[in-house]
Amino acid sequence: MNLLLLASAPVFIILIYVYMRDQYEREPIGLLLKALLAGALTVIPVMIVNSGIESYKAFFTGYGEVAYVVFVVAGFVEEFFKFVVLYLLIWMSREFNERFDGIVYAVFISLGFALVENIMYVYTYGESVGYTRAFTAVPAHALFGITMGYFFAQAKFHQIDKLLNFSKALIYPVILHGIYDFILMSQHPYLLLVFIPFILYLWRAGFKKMKILSDNSRFKPLA
């Protein structure tokens, strides 16, 4: 029970925070729970696809192999299925009527995935990993979600560069996710030195995106 609490607490703390930041019209709990559950269920297709493509890392060596694993096996596959769920569940929903909603739903989906992943890691590797991931991996998934939701909202409500923003909603989280994992998996001492600055950058960029959408009502143009 303690391990389950350790694995799930950071997820729900972030979810509550993001939910409370939605200051114009809070989203219905039922749809938020669907988003969270759908995000959790993406673990299944992610594991299936990864089991099929991970073997191709044998075609690469050294940092090339690491890059393939983090940008394709982890980054692209995970963010792709989150993006698919976000689109299918939210794009045409009448509840998606404000810019900030894009961030709310994207974070709930992203942290649904992170919740299952975190439980698996904590039960496999123990309590110390849970404390580490509470301040690194779990917030990182949320920040990838903020990035996805930000551009997803731009694509929905901003008529200029609609297709470009729609593409960014997938591409940018994949890049950020890949960089995050590459720094850790490469174990290169110089790259590890920039891990904390990179995390701080993610936080700063994430809060900035939240502020931009939070400060704009549905009738105002995006910054």
Domain annotation covers residue 219: no
Number of compact structural domains in the chain:
1
Say how many Å lie between the first and final Cα of the chain, rounded.
45
Structure tokens at 1: 């029970």
**Which of 51, 72, 42 shows the shortest CA–CA distance to 175?**
72
Element (H, E) at 48: helix 43-53
Given this model, what pLDDT does residue 158 score? Answer: 83
Structure tokens at 114: 């992170």
Cβ atoms < 10 Å from Cβ of 93: 15
pLDDT of 223 strictly over 70: no
Q: What are the tens digits of pLDDT across the range 161-172?
A: 899 999 999 999
Domain annotation covers residue 187: yes
- For residue 103, give the amino acid letter: I
Given this model, what pLDDT does residue 198 score? Answer: 95
Domain annotation covers residue 221: no
Given this model, what pLDDT does residue 222 score? Answer: 46
**What's the chain's average pLDDT?**
93
Domain annotation covers residue 52: yes
Lowest-confidence pick of 4-8, 144-148, 177-181: 4-8
Q: What are the tens digits of pLDDT across the range 71-110?
A: 999 999 999 999 999 999 999 999 999 999 999 999 999 9
Domain annotation covers residue 220: no
93 φ/ψ angles, rounded to the nearest 5 degrees: -70, 140
- Band (pLDDT 50/70/90 cuts) for residue 160 is confident
Whole-angstrom distance, CA of residue 186 vs CA of residue 195? 12
Given this model, what pLDDT does residue 1 score? Answer: 63
Evaluated on CA atoms 154, 155, 156, 158, the torsion sign reads positive
Burial class (CB in 10 A: 0-12, 13-18, 19+), 23: exposed
Range of the domain at 95: 2-214
Domain annotation covers residue 222: no
Question: 96: helix, coil or strand?
Answer: coil
Given this model, what pLDDT does residue 218 score? Answer: 53
Domain annotation covers residue 109: yes
Domain annotation covers residue 111: yes
In percent, the amount of the chain with pLDDT more than 90 equals 85
Structure tokens at 116: 């299952």
**Which of 198, 205, 107, 203 shows the shortest CA–CA distance to 152?**
107
